[in-house]
Amino acid sequence: MIWGRCLLTAGLQCCRCRPSWQLKRYFSFLPDDVKSLRAVVNPDISKIRNIGIMAHIDAGKTTTTERMLYYSGYTRALGDVDDGDTVTDFMAQERERGITIQSAAVTFDWKSYRINLIDTPGHVDFTLEVERALRVLDGAVAVFDASAGVEAQTLTVWRQAEKHHVPCVCFLNKMDKPAANLSFSIESIRQKLKANPVLLQIPVGSGKSFSGVVDLLTNQKLSWKLGSSGDDGRKFESKPLDQSDEPELLQEVNEARTALIEQVADLDDEFAELLLTDFGDNFDAVPSVRLQEAVRRVTLARKGVPVLCGSSLKNKGVQPLLDAITAYLPAPDERHHDLVRWYKDDLCALAFKVLHDKQRGPLVFLRIYSGTLKPQSAVHNINRNSIERMSRLLVPFADQHVEIPSMTAGNIALTVGLKQTVTGDTIVSSKSSAAAAARRAQNDGGGGKKRGEQASVVLSGVEVPDPVFFCTIEPPTMAKQADLENALSCLQREDPSLKVRVDPDSGQTILCGMGELHIEIIHDRIRREYGIETHLGPLQVAYRETILNEVSTTDTLDRTVGERRHVATVALTVRPMDILSSSGSCEVALREELEAQLSPDLKEAVENGVHSSYLQGPLLGYPLLGVSTLIQSVNIEPGTSAAMVSACVSRCMLKAMKLAGNQVLEPLMSLEVTVGEEHLSAVLGDLAQRRGTIQDIQSRHDNKVLIANVPLAEMMGYSTILRTLTSGNATFSLELDVYDAMNPQDQNVLLKRLSGLL
Ligand SMILES: Nc1nc2c(ncn2[C@@H]2O[C@H](COP(=O)(O)OP(=O)(O)OP(=O)(O)O)[C@@H](O)[C@H]2O)c(=O)[nH]1
């Protein structure tokens, strides 16, 4: 059991010491020897930083977070992912596997700032967790392994951060590794992320002798003790760089500082003007505070990303990173959310995470955009159109939750009592406040263009990608079926990327997920958290189907139910679309005359008929992609119900799609494998047998980085195979690239296998 050692002080109980979360009374638990929560009551909004940490798996996010908590005084011992005793990785599986699965929100104070930090997972199966976190954050720290530079997952997460316009700071971690390379990492940020790195520090020493950094803004040399394993890095020396320092370092710093000043002047007009008017002859005289202000403007405008370096494991460089978070990343009121304007001082918050606690029920993480949240109050959930009662309000300290009397805009809060709220819902104070905000939005000419008044005042949730894997799940006995259903519905509220459905033919419950690891973790959680030993069927790939040709057809439904005769005739055309350009979705349209002729109810019935037929393809029953349908005519005799019209349309669709010729589409994944040169040929040989197409092989220090496309069906259990092939000396990431047509031979084999002929 690895939960043995309590990380926190005796006074600060953690869930490892207790069977489940206990909610402590306001301030009552705080021990004297752990930093008091000075500003648990609401800090000034300009002093709040809502920050995410994002990176490739194993870059060191969790280790960095642990150091931040330690240096800011919230833990008394340093947690270690390798020993399984970190604060942020608090789920049992995370401790055992040493990876971060759920985003854990952690609140702490650094100097005079309140930092709400979300540790996001690096594994590609959990990108939705990252996306969800980015949605509610104002800034992010991208952590890199300085010996690897930008890795596959960082690219994905970076793109997500760009989508949400989140300003970033980069931290080149693991500078203690012999292969750590500053210029390589900077170049890879430039090349692969297409970002503009603004280097703010120069490392002192390299590999094992990495001892600190020189801050290029202040010319201060920050040095940590080398080699003493017991040193926690809390104390470090800070002194101005002077002539007693090595000449090479002095020269490197001089050059880097000049380059920094020129780069910032290029990116920021205000700074350029200051430079030209006041410091044209002597760049060195630029006050560091003016340079810092300019770097901040550049970061907020996303014209550049500050780059810092350090080694979290060796306790070096984390305090300057904390300073950079407060100095360069935005306060909540520096981000522009229209909603804040529309809600004015009324409450508006987004539920970005739901957790289930056995005693307390659902715990909902909220980001407050405007107004004030108070416990013991009723709130209105716009998405569910329901009133909910919030019983308690907490500040989340990883697995520690501190009860507070109110919370204002800009903060992240944890609430107890919201029973219907699902990840992605918008919470406001009342229905009338939403209506008032909608009126302001309309007067403003903003939002609400598509779905009427209400849509404009709802915060946009997170797009959930389609799951690529599925399998059946069965309880040990039928008596446990209801418990399993409850467990699955709780897990779905927490994790919208998990889909559960019942197979209409077999009646079996089907679990659909983002990857093997995702499904494995869900299985594990059902056992641990809900005490149900379930049986999973074999993991199957979520194929799709499409059509090959354009076909027009008609169909008539003539059915008498009871006394009533229903007669409908439908004519329609189905047409294949380019899967890439249509992003794979299916469309439906009605001819212009029909649009005018049909009542809204009938139009809805026709569209429902088309959409339901898109869910099950004629070949293997998989959902369809890339099909466009045009309804040519609909003739209905009086007395025919809307349900019968839908049924007629579905039947006609099935007929048309069968005539149109069918094609199975399979998920084609992009794979990146980092492997030592000595194992490259084994990995290549194996990929050839998996129908893989190699796109590129790059060199990264002593390693090769292999980029390929491989059908997902060939990748089951790949992590075990790769470990065997390379004696554990390789890592890989796998991500859905596109749904691609299977070739006729492979498709035949699949059809035979699925129909039991093979
Ligand atoms: N040499 C070296 N190793 C480090 C450093 N920081 C972290 N590590 C090691 O890198 C491994 C991964 O660290 P984590 O902190 O779990 O990384 P992570 O990014 O949180 O990983 P996931 O949560 O699985 O995505 C662990 O074995 C750490 O001990 C560092 O500064 N130097």
pLDDT for res 425: 83
Q: Is the CB of 61 under 6 A from ligand 1?
A: yes
CA 469 to centroid of ligand 1, rounded, Å:
29
Note whether 65 and 100 are within 8 A (CB). Answer: no
Of 517, 657, 462, 458, the residue nearest 576 (C-alpha) = 657
Q: Which atom of ligand 1 is nearest the CA belonging to 123?
A: 25
Note whether 340 and 222 are within 8 A (CB). Answer: no
Give 531-574 pLDDT, tens digit per residue.
899 999 988 888 999 999 999 999 999 999 888 899 999 999 99
Q: Is the CB of 58 under 6 A from ligand 1?
A: yes
Note whether 32 and 97 are within 8 A (CB). Answer: no
Q: Is the CB of 177 under 6 A from ligand 1?
A: yes
Q: Is the CB of 319 under 6 A from ligand 1?
A: no
Cα torsion 384, 385, 390, 395: sign: positive
Q: How far is CA 9 from the centre of its chain?
A: 32
Q: Is the CB of 153 under 6 A from ligand 1?
A: no
CA 86 to centroid of ligand 1, rounded, Å:
12
Note whether 474 and 535 are within 8 A (CB). Answer: yes
Q: What share of the chain is helix, strand, coil (3-state, %, to 5)?
A: 35, 30, 40
CA 367 to centroid of ligand 1, rounded, Å:
28
Q: Is the CB of 731 under 6 A from ligand 1?
A: no
Strand 361-370 and strand 348-357: the pairing is antiparallel
What's the burial of 549, exposed, middle or buried (CB within 10 Å: 0-12/13-18/19+)?
Answer: exposed
Please count the CA atoms within 13 angstroms of the CA of 702 that sit on its side-chain side: 8
In this structure, the chain runs to a length of 758
Other CB atoms within a 10 A radius of the CB of residue 611 amount to 16
Q: Is the CB of 174 under 6 A from ligand 1?
A: yes
Which of 57, 62, 63, 95 has most ligand 1 atoms within 8 Å of CB, for mutation? 63
Note whether 139 and 167 are within 8 A (CB). Answer: yes
**Phi then psi dihedrals of residue 362, to 5 deg:** -70, 135
CA 95 to centroid of ligand 1, rounded, Å:
13
3-state secondary structure 254-265: HHHHHHHHHHHH
Give the integer Cα–Cα distance in Å for 635 and 693. 51
C-alpha to C-alpha distances, 242 to 216, 253, 289, 310, nearest whole angstrom = 13, 11, 20, 22
Q: Is the CB of 57 under 6 A from ligand 1?
A: yes
**Phi then psi dihedrals of residue 15, to 5 deg:** -70, -20
Give the integer Cα–Cα distance in Å for 256 and 213. 13
What one-character-per-residue DSSP string does 699-748 give?
A: EETTEEEEEEEEEGGG-TTHHHHHHHHHTT-EEEEEEEEEEEEPPHHHHH
Give the integer Cα–Cα distance in Å for 712 and 616. 21
Strand 392-397 and strand 386-390: the pairing is unpaired
Give 152-209 pLDDT, tens digit per residue.
767 777 877 887 789 999 999 999 999 999 999 999 999 888 899 999 999 999 898 9
- Atom 14 (ligand 1): residue with closest C-alpha? 60
Of 306, 415, 326, the residue nearest 363 (C-alpha) = 415
CA 312 to centroid of ligand 1, rounded, Å:
8
Q: Is the CB of 733 under 6 A from ligand 1?
A: no
Q: Is the CB of 81 under 6 A from ligand 1?
A: yes
Q: Tokens standing for 533?
A: 């030993």
Which of 58, 80, 103 has most ligand 1 atoms within 8 Å of CB, for mutation? 58
Q: Which atom of ligand 1 is nearest the CA belonging to 310?
A: 31
Q: Which atom of ligand 1 is nearest the CA belonging to 59?
A: 19
pLDDT for res 753: 82
Q: Is the CB of 367 under 6 A from ligand 1?
A: no
Give the integer Cα–Cα distance in Å for 586 and 629. 8
Residues of the chain with pLDDT under 70: 1-41, 76-104, 119-133, 153, 227-230, 338, 358, 397-400, 445-465, 580-584, 701, 757-758
pLDDT for res 24: 25
Provide the b/e sequence for 307-345 (b: ≥16 CB within 10 Å). bbbbbbbbbbbbbbbbbbbbbbbbbbeebebbbbebbee
- Atom 2 (ligand 1): residue with closest C-alpha? 174
Quick check: ipTM above 0.90?
Answer: yes
Q: Is the CB of 400 under 6 A from ligand 1?
A: no
**Element at 140 (helix H, strand E):** strand 139-145
CA 389 to centroid of ligand 1, rounded, Å:
41
Which of 87, 312, 313, 321 has most ligand 1 atoms within 8 Å of CB, for mutation? 313
In sequence order, the 6+-apart residues with CB closer than 8 A to the CB of 121 are 99, 100, 101, 102, 103, 129, 130
Please report, in range form, the residues annotated as the binding site for GTP.
Answer: 55-62, 119-123, 173-176
What one-character-per-residue DSSP string does 260-319 give?
A: HHHHHHHH-HHHHHHHHHH-SS-GGGS-HHHHHHHHHHHHHTTS-EEEEE-BTTTTBSHH
Q: Tokens standing for 159?
A: 């793109």
Hey, what domains does the chain have and what are their CATH numbers? 1-38 (no CATH), 40-242+303-334 (3.40.50.300), 338-456 (2.40.30.10), 469-542 (3.30.70.870), 545-660 (3.30.230.10), 665-754 (3.30.70.240)
- Atom 4 (ligand 1): residue with closest C-alpha? 313
Give the integer Cα–Cα distance in Å for 444 and 464. 30
Q: Is the CB of 121 under 6 A from ligand 1?
A: yes
First to last CA, the chain: 45
Q: Is the CB of 493 under 6 A from ligand 1?
A: no
- Atom 21 (ligand 1): residue with closest C-alpha? 58
Helix (H, G, I), strand (E, B) or coil at 471: strand
Please count the CA atoms within 13 angstroms of the CA of 156 that sit on its side-chain side: 26
